[in-house]
Structure formats: C-alpha cells, structure tokens
Amino acid sequence: MPVKTASDISLRFYPLHFGKGDFLLKEGSVSNEYVFLTEGYMRSFATDPDGNDITTSFHGPHQVVFEIASFFQRIPSRENIQALTPCAGVAITYATLNELFHALPEFREFGRSILVNGFSNLKSRMLSTITETAESRYLQLLQSSPDIFQHAPLRTIASYLGITDTSLSRIRKEISGK
C-alpha cells in the first residue's frame, strides 16, 4: 500500500518492550530498528580494549534510540544498546523508514536533522571532555539530566564522564562538602 500521509507513517510503527538488562542491539550486529522510547531508560556502550564498558550515551523517554553509523551504513555496530530499566517504545525498521523517505520528501529533512543534531551534540561533548574538568562535566550532567541519576548506577555514569567510579565517588564527596 502506498504511503502518503502522516497516519500512514504511524501505522508502520510497532510496539516494543524491554526488561531491565535486555539488549536492543549487540555489538557486531546491524542496527535495524529506529526506536522511539515512550518509557524507561537505556544506555549505549562500547567495550574498550581492556574489556571495560564505556557508556557513550543515555536515552530517556521521548528520545530516539538507534546506532546511527550501523543503521545508515548497514555495517556491524561497535556499540551495544541495553535497557537500564524496563522500557516501552515504538519502532520502525530500516527498510520501512527508507520507504517513507522515498514516499514523503519532508521526511528526509527529518532524517537529516537527526544526524546533524547528533553530530552537533557529540561535538559539544568532545569539547567539554577536552576543556573541562571531570567535576564540571559531572555538574553539567547533573543539571541537564538529573533523571539519569535515578536510573543508572554511578559506575555507568562515571564511564560516560570518562572517569573511574572511584574518581566519581571522590568528586561527589568533595562537592557534598561545599
């Protein structure tokens, strides 16, 4: 059936549910679902050469979750995506999304904006990682995404900030004494 309207689009989305700890994507496979989270929290993480988890991003309600490079380039992902809490969302496959891109030109602009925003956010994070201290990055995260702290363990947050859990613990102690 041809796709022409916004309601045709919403029909193509199907519901998804995850238990805590479930994987939406495992390193080595191709990201094939573009997911919009309606409830719950997830994290993306890579495994470094020493076998440690490095959290690359957090995803919360009303946010999009997928692995851009793998999804668009159709190559194996170097990252995992895992539920931090029970989650609910709606998903659309790569193939279907492509159909929509062809059928509805406005949709392309939407696709581009996802890429551009993601790129832009990552760049800001890169800059702050280079120029700011871990304490300052911690405080910023606390302010911009306080909800993460309710749902992710500190060691996960530490790896996102680029420090060890030990250091994060000390930073928190230091701050609490102010």
Q: Which two tokens stand for residue 106?
A: 């406005």
Nearest CB to its own copies, comparing residues 44 and 82: 44
Query: Does 172 engage in binding with DNA (CB under 7 A)?
Result: yes
Q: CA Rg, the chain, in Å?
A: 18
Stretch of 41-49, 54-62, 106-114, 166-174 contacting DNA, by CB under 7 A: 166-174
Per the structure block, which two tokens stand in for 16?
Answer: 């998804």
User: Measured from the CB of residue 150, what is the shortest distance to DNA in angstroms?
Assistant: 10
Query: Of the two residues 173 and 178, which places its CB atom closer to DNA in the complex?
Result: 173
Amino acid present at 1: M
Contact (CB, 8 A) for 56 and 152: no
- Residue 135 touching DNA (CB under 7 A): yes
Binding site for its own copies (CB under 8 A): 46, 48-50, 52, 54, 56, 68-69, 72-73, 108, 111-113, 115-116, 118-120, 122-123, 125-127, 129-131, 159, 162
- Which one of the spans 11-19, 67-75, 102-110, 149-157 is the region binding DNA (CB under 7 A)? 149-157
Residue of 36, 12, 17, 1 whose CA lies nearest to 97: 12
Determine if 153 is a binding residue for DNA (CB under 7 A).
yes
Would you count residue 175 as binding DNA (CB under 7 A)? no
Among 51, 143, 173, 178, binds DNA (CB under 7 A): 173
Structure tokens at 89: 């969302």
Sheet bearing 80-83, strands edge to edge: 23-25, 80-83, 42-47, 53-59
Amino acid at residue number 100:
L
Point out which residues pair with 36 in neighbouring strands: 64, 90
Q: Which two tokens stand for residue 7?
A: 């309601």
Q: Which does 38 bind (CB under 5 to 8 A by kind): its own copies, DNA, none?
A: none
Smallest separation, CB 60 to DNA (Å) = 17
